Protein backbone atom coordinates (compact mmCIF):
# COMPACT_ATOMS: atom_id res chain seq x y z
CA UNK A 1 0.00 0.00 0.00
CA UNK A 2 1.42 3.36 -1.01
CA UNK A 3 1.12 6.44 1.23
CA UNK A 4 -1.40 7.88 -1.25
CA UNK A 5 -3.50 4.72 -1.05
CA UNK A 6 -3.38 4.77 2.74
CA UNK A 7 -4.39 8.45 2.74
CA UNK A 8 -7.44 7.49 0.67
CA UNK A 9 -8.27 4.76 3.20
CA UNK A 10 -8.01 7.29 6.05
CA UNK A 11 -10.28 9.72 4.21
CA UNK A 12 -12.80 6.95 3.47
CA UNK A 13 -12.84 6.12 7.18
CA UNK A 14 -13.55 9.78 7.96
CA UNK A 15 -16.47 9.78 5.51
CA UNK A 16 -17.90 6.71 7.25
CA UNK A 17 -17.52 8.26 10.71
CA UNK A 18 -19.15 11.50 9.61
CA UNK A 19 -22.09 9.62 8.11
CA UNK A 20 -22.54 7.49 11.24
CA UNK A 21 -22.54 10.56 13.49
CA UNK A 22 -24.53 12.84 11.24
CA UNK A 23 -21.68 15.33 10.95
CA UNK A 24 -21.41 17.85 8.13
CA UNK A 25 -19.43 16.12 5.40
CA UNK A 26 -18.74 19.49 3.76
CA UNK A 27 -16.07 19.89 6.47
CA UNK A 28 -14.13 16.95 5.04
CA UNK A 29 -11.12 17.81 2.86
CA UNK A 30 -10.91 16.61 -0.73
CA UNK A 31 -7.71 14.77 0.18
CA UNK A 32 -5.44 14.18 3.12
CA UNK A 33 -1.90 13.03 3.76
CA UNK A 34 -0.21 10.49 5.96
CA UNK A 35 3.35 10.96 7.15
CA UNK A 36 6.17 8.87 8.50
CA UNK A 37 6.40 9.34 12.29
CA UNK A 38 9.76 10.56 13.52
CA UNK A 39 10.02 7.59 15.86
CA UNK A 40 9.56 4.28 13.95
CA UNK A 41 8.28 2.68 17.15
CA UNK A 42 5.15 4.81 16.84
CA UNK A 43 4.04 2.96 13.71
CA UNK A 44 4.41 2.96 9.96
CA UNK A 45 2.41 6.15 9.30
CA UNK A 46 0.71 8.94 11.19
CA UNK A 47 -2.30 11.12 10.45
CA UNK A 48 -3.43 14.43 12.00
CA UNK A 49 -6.86 14.35 10.34
CA UNK A 50 -8.75 14.21 13.67
CA UNK A 51 -6.94 17.35 14.86
CA UNK A 52 -7.68 19.14 11.58
CA UNK A 53 -11.41 18.38 11.69
CA UNK A 54 -12.14 18.68 15.40
CA UNK A 55 -12.91 22.41 15.58
CA UNK A 56 -14.86 22.38 12.32
CA UNK A 57 -17.37 19.84 13.60
CA UNK A 58 -17.26 20.57 17.33
CA UNK A 59 -16.07 17.12 18.43
CA UNK A 60 -13.12 16.76 20.84
CA UNK A 61 -10.04 15.62 18.89
CA UNK A 62 -9.40 12.45 20.90
CA UNK A 63 -13.04 11.44 20.63
CA UNK A 64 -12.95 11.95 16.85
CA UNK A 65 -9.60 10.14 16.69
CA UNK A 66 -11.09 7.17 18.56
CA UNK A 67 -13.95 6.92 16.07
CA UNK A 68 -11.52 7.15 13.15
CA UNK A 69 -9.24 4.54 14.72
CA UNK A 70 -12.16 2.14 15.18
CA UNK A 71 -13.22 2.55 11.55
CA UNK A 72 -9.66 2.35 10.22
CA UNK A 73 -8.96 -0.80 12.22
CA UNK A 74 -11.48 -2.65 10.06
CA UNK A 75 -9.86 -1.50 6.78
CA UNK A 76 -8.06 -4.06 4.68
CA UNK A 77 -4.29 -3.85 5.07
CA UNK A 78 -4.36 -1.96 8.36
CA UNK A 79 -2.90 -4.00 11.21
CA UNK A 80 -3.53 -1.57 14.06
CA UNK A 81 -4.27 2.08 14.91
CA UNK A 82 -3.22 3.83 18.09
CA UNK A 83 -4.21 7.26 19.41
CA UNK A 84 -1.39 9.44 20.69
CA UNK A 85 -1.23 12.84 22.32
CA UNK A 86 -4.15 15.18 21.64
CA UNK A 87 -5.46 13.11 18.71
CA UNK A 88 -2.70 11.79 16.47
CA UNK A 89 -3.37 8.52 14.71
CA UNK A 90 -0.42 6.10 14.53
CA UNK A 91 -1.10 3.46 11.89
CA UNK A 92 0.58 0.11 11.32
CA UNK A 93 0.08 -1.87 8.13
CA UNK A 94 0.07 -5.62 7.90
CA UNK A 95 3.02 -7.15 6.05
CA UNK A 96 1.01 -7.95 2.93
CA UNK A 97 -0.21 -4.37 2.53
CA UNK A 98 3.24 -2.93 3.20
CA UNK A 99 5.01 -5.40 0.92
CA UNK A 100 2.63 -4.82 -1.97
CA UNK A 101 4.49 -1.56 -2.58
CA UNK A 102 7.40 -3.49 -4.12
CA UNK A 103 5.10 -4.75 -6.86
CA UNK A 104 3.63 -1.29 -7.42
CA UNK A 105 7.10 0.20 -7.89
CA UNK A 106 8.46 -2.49 -10.21
CA UNK A 107 5.37 -2.44 -12.40
CA UNK A 108 5.37 1.38 -12.55
CA UNK A 109 9.04 1.43 -13.55
CA UNK A 110 10.20 4.84 -14.74
CA UNK A 111 6.78 6.31 -13.92
CA UNK A 112 7.14 5.68 -10.18
CA UNK A 113 7.55 9.00 -8.41
CA UNK A 114 5.89 11.04 -11.15
CA UNK A 115 2.67 12.95 -10.46
CA UNK A 116 0.40 15.71 -11.77
CA UNK A 117 1.03 17.91 -8.73
CA UNK A 118 2.02 20.91 -10.90
CA UNK A 119 -0.16 20.10 -13.90
CA UNK A 120 -1.39 23.22 -15.65
CA UNK A 121 1.63 25.34 -14.74
CA UNK A 122 3.58 26.73 -17.70
CA UNK A 123 7.07 27.63 -16.50
CA UNK A 124 10.00 29.26 -18.27
CA UNK A 125 13.21 28.18 -16.53
CA UNK A 126 16.32 30.20 -17.41
CA UNK A 127 19.67 29.09 -16.06
CA UNK A 128 23.42 29.34 -16.71
CA UNK A 129 23.13 32.23 -19.25
CA UNK A 130 26.89 32.88 -19.08
CA UNK A 131 28.18 35.73 -21.24
CA UNK A 132 29.71 34.44 -24.49
CA UNK A 133 33.06 35.96 -23.63
CA UNK A 134 34.66 32.89 -22.08
CA UNK A 135 34.11 29.24 -21.06
CA UNK A 136 31.42 28.34 -18.51
CA UNK A 137 32.96 28.91 -15.08
CA UNK A 138 32.29 26.81 -12.02
CA UNK A 139 29.50 29.08 -10.74
CA UNK A 140 27.66 28.63 -14.03
CA UNK A 141 28.29 24.89 -13.84
CA UNK A 142 26.42 24.81 -10.54
CA UNK A 143 23.37 26.29 -12.25
CA UNK A 144 23.77 23.83 -15.11
CA UNK A 145 23.48 20.91 -12.68
CA UNK A 146 20.81 22.42 -10.44
CA UNK A 147 18.78 23.97 -13.26
CA UNK A 148 18.71 20.81 -15.33
CA UNK A 149 17.73 18.75 -12.28
CA UNK A 150 14.99 21.25 -11.45
CA UNK A 151 13.61 21.10 -15.00
CA UNK A 152 13.42 17.31 -14.69
CA UNK A 153 11.66 17.58 -11.33
CA UNK A 154 9.13 20.11 -12.60
CA UNK A 155 8.31 17.92 -15.60
CA UNK A 156 8.06 14.85 -13.36
CA UNK A 157 5.35 16.65 -11.39
CA UNK A 158 3.33 17.63 -14.44
CA UNK A 159 4.50 21.17 -15.20
CA UNK A 160 4.91 22.38 -18.79
CA UNK A 161 8.51 23.57 -18.73
CA UNK A 162 10.58 25.45 -21.28
CA UNK A 163 14.30 25.67 -20.48
CA UNK A 164 16.19 28.66 -21.77
CA UNK A 165 19.72 30.02 -22.11
CA UNK A 166 20.08 33.77 -22.62
CA UNK A 167 23.15 34.83 -24.58
CA UNK A 168 24.15 38.40 -23.74
CA UNK A 169 25.59 38.99 -27.20
CA UNK A 170 25.03 42.74 -27.25
CA UNK A 171 26.71 45.49 -25.28
CA UNK A 172 30.08 46.61 -24.00
CA UNK A 173 31.33 43.19 -22.82
CA UNK A 174 31.13 41.91 -26.40
CA UNK A 175 33.12 44.93 -27.60
CA UNK A 176 35.81 44.16 -24.98
CA UNK A 177 35.81 40.52 -26.12
CA UNK A 178 36.30 41.55 -29.77
CA UNK A 179 39.13 43.94 -28.86
CA UNK A 180 40.80 41.15 -26.86
CA UNK A 181 40.65 38.81 -29.86
CA UNK A 182 42.06 41.47 -32.14
CA UNK A 183 44.92 42.14 -29.72
CA UNK A 184 45.71 38.42 -29.50
CA UNK A 185 45.73 38.15 -33.29
CA UNK A 186 48.23 41.02 -33.47
CA UNK A 187 50.42 39.52 -30.76
CA UNK A 188 49.63 42.36 -28.38
CA UNK A 189 48.65 42.10 -24.68
CA UNK A 190 44.95 42.12 -23.85
CA UNK A 191 43.35 45.55 -23.36
CA UNK A 192 43.24 46.74 -19.76
CA UNK A 193 39.50 46.03 -19.58
CA UNK A 194 39.69 42.97 -21.85
CA UNK A 195 39.76 39.22 -21.42
CA UNK A 196 42.82 37.04 -20.90
CA UNK A 197 43.50 33.32 -20.97
CA UNK A 198 44.70 30.84 -23.54
CA UNK A 199 41.20 30.47 -24.96
CA UNK A 200 41.37 34.02 -26.36
CA UNK A 201 44.43 33.16 -28.43
CA UNK A 202 42.80 29.90 -29.54
CA UNK A 203 39.67 31.66 -30.76
CA UNK A 204 41.67 34.42 -32.44
CA UNK A 205 43.64 31.78 -34.34
CA UNK A 206 40.47 29.96 -35.37
CA UNK A 207 38.85 33.19 -36.60
CA UNK A 208 41.91 33.91 -38.75
CA UNK A 209 41.77 30.37 -40.13
CA UNK A 210 38.10 30.80 -41.07
CA UNK A 211 38.43 34.38 -42.29
CA UNK A 212 42.04 34.85 -43.50
CA UNK A 213 41.13 38.19 -45.06
CA UNK A 214 40.81 39.63 -41.53
CA UNK A 215 44.60 40.14 -41.56
CA UNK A 216 44.28 42.73 -44.33
CA UNK A 217 41.49 44.80 -42.74
CA UNK A 218 41.83 47.97 -40.73
CA UNK A 219 41.30 47.67 -36.98
CA UNK A 220 37.64 48.71 -36.97
CA UNK A 221 36.68 46.26 -39.71
CA UNK A 222 38.84 43.50 -38.24
CA UNK A 223 37.32 44.00 -34.80
CA UNK A 224 33.84 43.54 -36.28
CA UNK A 225 34.92 40.25 -37.87
CA UNK A 226 36.38 39.07 -34.58
CA UNK A 227 33.17 40.10 -32.81
CA UNK A 228 30.86 38.16 -35.14
CA UNK A 229 33.06 35.10 -35.61
CA UNK A 230 34.44 35.05 -32.07
CA UNK A 231 31.01 35.19 -30.44
CA UNK A 232 29.77 32.41 -32.74
CA UNK A 233 32.74 30.22 -31.80
CA UNK A 234 32.22 30.92 -28.10
CA UNK A 235 28.51 30.09 -28.46
CA UNK A 236 29.41 26.78 -30.07
CA UNK A 237 31.93 25.95 -27.36
CA UNK A 238 29.55 26.77 -24.52
CA UNK A 239 26.76 24.71 -26.07
CA UNK A 240 29.12 21.81 -26.72
CA UNK A 241 30.47 21.90 -23.16
CA UNK A 242 26.98 21.90 -21.68
CA UNK A 243 25.88 19.12 -24.03
CA UNK A 244 28.80 16.99 -22.87
CA UNK A 245 27.68 17.75 -19.31
CA UNK A 246 24.23 16.36 -20.16
CA UNK A 247 22.47 19.72 -20.36
CA UNK A 248 20.45 20.76 -23.42
CA UNK A 249 18.17 23.78 -23.60
CA UNK A 250 14.85 24.05 -25.40
CA UNK A 251 15.69 27.61 -26.42
CA UNK A 252 18.93 29.53 -26.88
CA UNK A 253 17.86 33.16 -26.88
CA UNK A 254 20.12 35.94 -28.19
CA UNK A 255 19.94 39.39 -26.61
CA UNK A 256 20.83 40.87 -29.99
CA UNK A 257 17.52 39.59 -31.37
CA UNK A 258 15.66 41.78 -28.90
CA UNK A 259 17.41 44.83 -30.36
CA UNK A 260 17.06 43.72 -33.98
CA UNK A 261 13.33 43.01 -33.65
CA UNK A 262 12.54 46.26 -31.89
CA UNK A 263 11.41 44.52 -28.71
CA UNK A 264 13.04 47.09 -26.44
CA UNK A 265 10.83 49.78 -27.98
CA UNK A 266 7.83 47.46 -27.54
CA UNK A 267 8.63 47.01 -23.84
CA UNK A 268 9.14 50.75 -23.43
CA UNK A 269 5.76 51.48 -24.98
CA UNK A 270 4.05 48.87 -22.79
CA UNK A 271 5.56 50.39 -19.65
CA UNK A 272 4.56 53.87 -20.84
CA UNK A 273 0.97 52.65 -21.29
CA UNK A 274 1.07 51.34 -17.72
CA UNK A 275 2.04 54.86 -16.58
CA UNK A 276 5.41 54.03 -15.02
CA UNK A 277 7.84 55.91 -17.30
CA UNK A 278 9.14 59.44 -16.98
CA UNK A 279 11.81 61.61 -18.61
CA UNK A 280 14.57 63.29 -16.64
CA UNK A 281 17.87 64.85 -17.74
CA UNK A 282 17.28 63.58 -21.25
CA UNK A 283 17.01 59.94 -20.12
CA UNK A 284 13.98 57.62 -19.89
CA UNK A 285 13.37 56.18 -16.42
CA UNK A 286 11.19 53.40 -15.01
CA UNK A 287 9.62 54.31 -11.68
CA UNK A 288 10.44 51.04 -9.91
CA UNK A 289 10.45 52.71 -6.48
CA UNK A 290 6.64 52.57 -6.66
CA UNK A 291 7.02 48.83 -6.15
CA UNK A 292 9.71 48.62 -3.51
CA UNK A 293 12.94 49.08 -5.50
CA UNK A 294 15.62 51.17 -3.79
CA UNK A 295 15.85 53.58 -6.75
CA UNK A 296 14.30 54.21 -10.15
CA UNK A 297 16.04 52.63 -13.13
CA UNK A 298 17.23 54.15 -16.40
CA UNK A 299 16.03 52.35 -19.51
CA UNK A 300 17.43 54.70 -22.15
CA UNK A 301 20.36 56.99 -21.55
CA UNK A 302 20.46 60.62 -22.60
CA UNK A 303 22.71 59.66 -25.55
CA UNK A 304 20.03 57.26 -26.82
CA UNK A 305 21.79 54.05 -25.73
CA UNK A 306 19.78 51.30 -24.11
CA UNK A 307 20.74 50.03 -20.65
CA UNK A 308 21.11 46.36 -19.72
CA UNK A 309 17.96 46.71 -17.63
CA UNK A 310 15.99 47.76 -20.70
CA UNK A 311 16.95 44.46 -22.32
CA UNK A 312 15.94 42.64 -19.12
CA UNK A 313 12.50 44.27 -19.36
CA UNK A 314 12.11 43.34 -23.03
CA UNK A 315 13.25 39.77 -22.39
CA UNK A 316 10.80 39.31 -19.50
CA UNK A 317 7.95 40.65 -21.64
CA UNK A 318 8.97 38.34 -24.49
CA UNK A 319 8.71 35.31 -22.18
CA UNK A 320 5.31 36.35 -20.92
CA UNK A 321 4.10 37.00 -24.48
CA UNK A 322 5.15 33.44 -25.34
CA UNK A 323 2.60 32.20 -22.84
CA UNK A 324 4.75 31.40 -19.81
CA UNK A 325 2.78 32.11 -16.65
CA UNK A 326 5.77 31.82 -14.36
CA UNK A 327 9.25 33.05 -15.23
CA UNK A 328 11.99 31.43 -13.12
CA UNK A 329 15.49 32.89 -13.39
CA UNK A 330 18.59 31.44 -11.74
CA UNK A 331 21.31 33.98 -10.96
CA UNK A 332 24.72 33.94 -9.30
CA UNK A 333 25.58 35.23 -5.85
CA UNK A 334 26.69 38.62 -7.22
CA UNK A 335 23.20 39.26 -8.61
CA UNK A 336 21.32 39.45 -5.31
CA UNK A 337 20.63 43.14 -5.90
CA UNK A 338 18.71 42.26 -9.08
CA UNK A 339 15.80 40.77 -7.15
CA UNK A 340 14.22 44.05 -6.07
CA UNK A 341 14.46 45.75 -9.46
CA UNK A 342 13.25 42.66 -11.35
CA UNK A 343 10.25 42.18 -9.06
CA UNK A 344 9.41 45.88 -9.41
CA UNK A 345 9.74 45.60 -13.19
CA UNK A 346 7.23 42.74 -13.26
CA UNK A 347 4.81 44.84 -11.22
CA UNK A 348 5.28 47.76 -13.63
CA UNK A 349 4.09 45.48 -16.44
CA UNK A 350 0.94 44.79 -14.40
CA UNK A 351 2.01 41.30 -13.29
CA UNK A 352 1.98 39.80 -9.82
CA UNK A 353 5.69 39.59 -9.01
CA UNK A 354 5.10 36.83 -6.46
CA UNK A 355 3.18 34.71 -8.94
CA UNK A 356 4.74 35.51 -12.31
CA UNK A 357 8.43 35.98 -11.48
CA UNK A 358 10.71 33.84 -9.35
CA UNK A 359 14.42 34.52 -8.89
CA UNK A 360 16.75 31.95 -7.37
CA UNK A 361 20.22 32.96 -6.18
CA UNK A 362 23.08 30.47 -6.08
CA UNK A 363 26.12 30.78 -3.86
CA UNK A 364 29.79 30.29 -4.67
CA UNK A 365 31.58 27.02 -5.44
CA UNK A 366 35.19 26.23 -4.58
CA UNK A 367 37.11 23.32 -6.05
CA UNK A 368 39.62 22.05 -3.49
CA UNK A 369 42.84 20.20 -4.19
CA UNK A 370 44.85 19.06 -1.17
CA UNK A 371 42.50 21.13 0.98
CA UNK A 372 43.23 24.42 -0.79
CA UNK A 373 40.94 26.20 -3.27
CA UNK A 374 41.99 26.04 -6.91
CA UNK A 375 42.04 29.56 -8.33
CA UNK A 376 43.38 29.33 -11.85
CA UNK A 377 42.26 27.39 -14.90
CA UNK A 378 44.86 26.05 -17.30
CA UNK A 379 42.87 27.48 -20.19
CA UNK A 380 40.69 30.31 -18.91
CA UNK A 381 43.46 31.83 -16.83
CA UNK A 382 41.32 33.46 -14.15
CA UNK A 383 38.47 31.07 -13.23
CA UNK A 384 37.81 27.35 -12.82
CA UNK A 385 35.73 26.10 -15.74
CA UNK A 386 33.25 23.32 -16.43
CA UNK A 387 36.00 21.34 -18.16
CA UNK A 388 38.30 21.72 -15.15
CA UNK A 389 35.66 20.29 -12.83
CA UNK A 390 34.77 17.40 -15.13
CA UNK A 391 38.43 16.58 -15.71
CA UNK A 392 38.95 16.49 -11.95
CA UNK A 393 36.01 14.32 -10.81
CA UNK A 394 33.90 13.32 -13.85
CA UNK A 395 30.41 14.27 -15.05
CA UNK A 396 28.37 12.12 -12.65
CA UNK A 397 30.25 13.23 -9.55
CA UNK A 398 30.18 16.86 -10.71
CA UNK A 399 26.44 16.89 -11.28
CA UNK A 400 25.70 15.05 -8.05
CA UNK A 401 28.04 17.22 -5.97
CA UNK A 402 26.56 20.45 -7.34
CA UNK A 403 22.94 19.35 -6.95
CA UNK A 404 23.44 17.77 -3.51
CA UNK A 405 23.46 21.04 -1.58
CA UNK A 406 20.89 23.79 -1.20
CA UNK A 407 21.71 26.36 -3.88
CA UNK A 408 21.78 29.16 -1.31
CA UNK A 409 24.75 27.52 0.47
CA UNK A 410 28.39 27.83 -0.63
CA UNK A 411 30.03 24.53 -1.66
CA UNK A 412 33.55 23.21 -1.30
CA UNK A 413 34.12 20.29 -3.69
CA UNK A 414 37.06 18.22 -2.49
CA UNK A 415 38.62 16.41 -5.47
CA UNK A 416 40.04 13.66 -3.29
CA UNK A 417 36.65 12.90 -1.69
CA UNK A 418 34.63 12.92 -4.91
CA UNK A 419 37.02 10.58 -6.74
CA UNK A 420 37.26 8.08 -3.89
CA UNK A 421 35.67 4.63 -4.41
CA UNK A 422 34.46 4.42 -0.81
CA UNK A 423 31.20 4.87 1.03
CA UNK A 424 32.15 8.35 2.25
CA UNK A 425 31.90 9.54 -1.37
CA UNK A 426 28.16 10.36 -1.66
CA UNK A 427 27.76 9.62 -5.36
CA UNK A 428 29.71 6.37 -5.08
CA UNK A 429 27.56 5.37 -2.09
CA UNK A 430 24.34 5.81 -4.08
CA UNK A 431 25.59 4.44 -7.38
CA UNK A 432 26.96 1.39 -5.56
CA UNK A 433 23.39 0.51 -4.57
CA UNK A 434 22.31 0.89 -8.20
CA UNK A 435 25.08 -1.51 -9.25
CA UNK A 436 24.51 -3.92 -6.36
CA UNK A 437 20.77 -4.25 -7.01
CA UNK A 438 21.50 -4.90 -10.70
CA UNK A 439 24.13 -7.46 -9.69
CA UNK A 440 21.72 -9.25 -7.38
CA UNK A 441 19.18 -9.49 -10.21
CA UNK A 442 21.82 -10.91 -12.57
CA UNK A 443 23.02 -13.46 -10.03
CA UNK A 444 19.43 -14.43 -9.23
CA UNK A 445 18.76 -15.21 -12.88
CA UNK A 446 21.88 -17.38 -13.02
CA UNK A 447 20.60 -19.64 -10.21
CA UNK A 448 17.08 -19.80 -11.58
CA UNK A 449 15.58 -17.26 -9.19
CA UNK A 450 13.13 -15.06 -11.10
CA UNK A 451 10.50 -12.79 -9.55
CA UNK A 452 7.65 -14.32 -11.55
CA UNK A 453 4.47 -12.44 -12.36
CA UNK A 454 2.64 -10.26 -9.91
CA UNK A 455 0.14 -12.96 -9.00
CA UNK A 456 2.95 -15.18 -7.71
CA UNK A 457 4.35 -12.42 -5.49
CA UNK A 458 3.87 -13.10 -1.75
CA UNK A 459 4.20 -9.65 -0.16
CA UNK A 460 3.13 -10.91 3.28
CA UNK A 461 6.50 -12.68 3.55
CA UNK A 462 8.30 -9.33 3.71
CA UNK A 463 7.84 -9.04 7.46
CA UNK A 464 11.45 -8.56 8.58
CA UNK A 465 12.21 -5.28 10.35
CA UNK A 466 14.78 -4.28 7.71
CA UNK A 467 12.40 -5.14 4.87
CA UNK A 468 9.76 -2.92 6.43
CA UNK A 469 12.29 -0.12 6.89
CA UNK A 470 13.30 -0.29 3.22
CA UNK A 471 9.68 -0.40 2.05
CA UNK A 472 8.89 2.74 4.02
CA UNK A 473 11.93 4.47 2.52
CA UNK A 474 10.82 3.57 -1.02
CA UNK A 475 7.29 4.76 -0.28
CA UNK A 476 8.58 8.29 0.40
CA UNK A 477 9.88 8.84 -3.12
CA UNK A 478 6.80 10.43 -4.76
CA UNK A 479 6.44 12.91 -1.89
CA UNK A 480 10.15 13.75 -2.01
CA UNK A 481 9.94 14.46 -5.75
CA UNK A 482 6.85 16.65 -5.36
CA UNK A 483 8.34 18.62 -2.48
CA UNK A 484 11.68 19.09 -4.26
CA UNK A 485 9.87 20.44 -7.32
CA UNK A 486 7.58 22.78 -5.41
CA UNK A 487 10.39 24.19 -3.25
CA UNK A 488 12.89 24.28 -6.18
CA UNK A 489 15.29 22.14 -4.13
CA UNK A 490 16.80 19.22 -6.08
CA UNK A 491 19.17 18.53 -3.20
CA UNK A 492 16.26 16.89 -1.37
CA UNK A 493 16.33 14.06 -3.90
CA UNK A 494 20.07 13.48 -3.46
CA UNK A 495 19.86 13.47 0.33
CA UNK A 496 16.87 11.13 0.23
CA UNK A 497 18.71 8.67 -2.02
CA UNK A 498 21.69 8.67 0.33
CA UNK A 499 20.17 8.87 3.76
CA UNK A 500 16.96 6.95 3.25
CA UNK A 501 17.14 4.52 0.31
CA UNK A 502 20.83 3.64 0.12
CA UNK A 503 21.23 3.40 3.89
CA UNK A 504 18.10 1.24 4.25
CA UNK A 505 19.09 -1.01 1.36
CA UNK A 506 22.53 -1.70 2.83
CA UNK A 507 20.90 -2.75 6.12
CA UNK A 508 18.38 -4.89 4.26
CA UNK A 509 21.15 -6.54 2.21
CA UNK A 510 23.18 -7.30 5.34
CA UNK A 511 20.24 -8.85 7.21
CA UNK A 512 17.93 -10.38 4.58
CA UNK A 513 19.50 -12.79 2.10
CA UNK A 514 17.98 -12.55 -1.36
CA UNK A 515 19.84 -15.39 -3.11
CA UNK A 516 19.64 -19.04 -2.01
CA UNK A 517 22.85 -20.49 -0.54
CA UNK A 518 24.50 -23.41 -2.26
CA UNK A 519 21.95 -26.09 -3.13
CA UNK A 520 19.22 -24.36 -1.12
CA UNK A 521 15.84 -24.51 -2.80
CA UNK A 522 14.40 -21.29 -4.20
CA UNK A 523 11.46 -20.23 -2.04
CA UNK A 524 8.70 -17.65 -2.20
CA UNK A 525 10.65 -15.59 0.34
CA UNK A 526 13.61 -15.39 -2.04
CA UNK A 527 11.25 -14.25 -4.79
CA UNK A 528 9.59 -11.67 -2.56
CA UNK A 529 12.97 -10.25 -1.59
CA UNK A 530 13.99 -10.12 -5.24
CA UNK A 531 10.89 -7.97 -5.91
CA UNK A 532 12.04 -5.66 -3.12
CA UNK A 533 15.59 -5.59 -4.50
CA UNK A 534 14.27 -4.69 -7.96
CA UNK A 535 11.98 -2.03 -6.52
CA UNK A 536 15.01 -0.44 -4.87
CA UNK A 537 16.84 -0.46 -8.20
CA UNK A 538 13.86 1.34 -9.78
CA UNK A 539 13.78 4.09 -7.15
CA UNK A 540 17.54 4.63 -7.20
CA UNK A 541 17.55 4.80 -11.01
CA UNK A 542 14.56 7.16 -11.12
CA UNK A 543 16.06 9.43 -8.48
CA UNK A 544 19.48 9.58 -10.13
CA UNK A 545 17.82 10.30 -13.48
CA UNK A 546 16.15 13.35 -11.95
CA UNK A 547 19.62 14.58 -11.01
CA UNK A 548 21.03 13.79 -14.46
CA UNK A 549 23.30 11.10 -13.00
CA UNK A 550 23.71 7.57 -14.33
CA UNK A 551 22.58 4.44 -12.45
CA UNK A 552 25.34 1.97 -13.39
CA UNK A 553 24.69 -1.77 -13.54
CA UNK A 554 28.31 -2.53 -12.71
CA UNK A 555 31.04 -0.69 -10.80
pLDDT tens-digit map of 86-116? 888 889 888 888 899 999 999 999 999 999 9
CB 85 within 8 A of CB 50: no
My answer on whether 142 and 279 are in the same domain is: yes
Alpha-carbon gap, residue 74 to 474, rounded angstroms: 26
For residue 479, being part of any structural domain is answered with yes
CB contact burial 311-341 (16+ within 10 A = b; e otherwise):
bbbbbbbbbbeeebebbbbbbbeeeeebbbb
pLDDT at 508 over 80: yes
pLDDT at 333 over 70: yes
For residue 369, being part of any structural domain is answered with no
Supply the pLDDT for residue 376. 62
CB 548 within 8 A of CB 531: no
Q: How confident is the model at residue 384 (pLDDT cuts 50, 70, 90)?
A: confident
My answer on whether 141 and 176 are in the same domain is: no
Most confident stretch, 155-164, 182-191, 452-461:
155-164
My answer on whether 355 and 312 are in the same domain is: yes
Q: What are residue 306's DSSP bridge partners?
A: 300
pLDDT at 152 over 90: yes
For residue 542, being part of any structural domain is answered with yes
My answer on whether 440 and 304 are in the same domain is: no
My answer on whether 279 and 293 are in the same domain is: yes
My answer on whether 345 and 456 are in the same domain is: no
Residue 124, CA distances (Å) to 115, 146, 352, 499 in order = 20, 15, 16, 32
pLDDT in tens, 240-262: 999 999 999 999 999 989 999 99
My answer on whether 320 and 434 are in the same domain is: no
Minimum mean pLDDT among 78-87, 153-162, 282-291, 478-487: which range?
78-87
Q: What is the mean pLDDT of the chain?
A: 91
Among the three residues 93, 108, 133, which one is the final residue of a domain in this structure? 93
Counted domains in the chain = 4
My answer on whether 266 and 161 are in the same domain is: yes
pLDDT at 455 over 80: no
Supply the pLDDT for residue 382. 66
For residue 368, being part of any structural domain is answered with no
For residue 399, being part of any structural domain is answered with no
For residue 319, being part of any structural domain is answered with yes
My answer on whether 336 and 265 are in the same domain is: yes
My answer on whether 235 and 254 are in the same domain is: no
For residue 336, being part of any structural domain is answered with yes
Instruction: Work out the average pLDDT over 454-473.
Output: 91
Other CB atoms within 10 Å distance of the CB of residue 144 = 28
Supply the pLDDT for residue 278. 96
Indicate if the alpha-carbon torsion angle 288, 289, 294, 296 is positive or negative: positive
CATH number at residue 38: 3.30.1360.70
Supply the pLDDT for residue 364. 87
Minimum mean pLDDT among 85-94, 240-249, 295-304, 460-469: which range?
85-94
CATH number at residue 256: 3.40.50.620
Q: Helix-strand-coil percent breakdown of the chain, rounded to 5?
A: 55, 15, 30
Q: How confident is the model at residue 336 (pLDDT cuts 50, 70, 90)?
A: confident
Q: How confident is the model at residue 369 (pLDDT cuts 50, 70, 90)?
A: confident
Q: What is the DSSP letter of 329?
A: E
pLDDT in tens, 63-82: 999 998 998 888 888 888 98
- The pTM (predicted TM-score) of the whole model is 0.88
My answer on whether 181 and 207 are in the same domain is: yes
For residue 114, being part of any structural domain is answered with no
Instruction: Work out the average pLDDT over 473-485.
Output: 95
Q: Which residue has the higher pLDDT, 40 or 116?
A: 116
Alpha-carbon gap, residue 93 to 524, rounded angstroms: 21
Q: What are residue 88's DSSP bridge partners?
A: 84
My answer on whether 269 and 356 are in the same domain is: yes
CATH number at residue 446: 1.10.730.10
Task: Specify the 3-state DSSP secondary structure of 190.
Answer: coil
Residue 499 φ then ψ, to 5°: -80, -25
From the list 442, 512, 432, the residue with the least C-alpha distance to 471 is: 512
Indicate if the alpha-carbon torsion angle 412, 414, 415, 417 is positive or negative: negative
From the list 100, 102, 76, 98, the residue with the least C-alpha distance to 465 is: 98
Domain membership of residue 232 as a residue range = 172-241
Q: How confident is the model at residue 547 (pLDDT cuts 50, 70, 90)?
A: very high
Instruction: Work out the average pLDDT over 10-34.
Output: 85
Residue 86 φ then ψ, to 5°: -75, -5
pLDDT in tens, 207-250: 999 999 988 899 999 999 998 999 999 999 999 999 999 999 99
Amino acid sequence: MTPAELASVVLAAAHAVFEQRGLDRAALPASTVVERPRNPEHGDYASTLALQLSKKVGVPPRELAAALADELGRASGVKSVEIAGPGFLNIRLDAAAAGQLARVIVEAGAEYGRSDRLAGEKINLEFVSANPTGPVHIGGVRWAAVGDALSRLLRATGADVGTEYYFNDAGSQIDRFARSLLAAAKGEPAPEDGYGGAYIAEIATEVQSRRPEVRTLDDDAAQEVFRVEGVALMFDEIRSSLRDFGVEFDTYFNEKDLHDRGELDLALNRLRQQGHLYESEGATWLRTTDFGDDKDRVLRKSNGEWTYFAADCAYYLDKRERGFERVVIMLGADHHGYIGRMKAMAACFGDDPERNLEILIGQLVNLLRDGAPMRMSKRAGTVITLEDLVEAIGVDASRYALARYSSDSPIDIDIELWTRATRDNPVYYVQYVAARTAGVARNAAEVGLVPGDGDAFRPELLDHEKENELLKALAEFPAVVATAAELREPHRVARYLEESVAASYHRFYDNCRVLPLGDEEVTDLHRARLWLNNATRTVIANGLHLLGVSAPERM
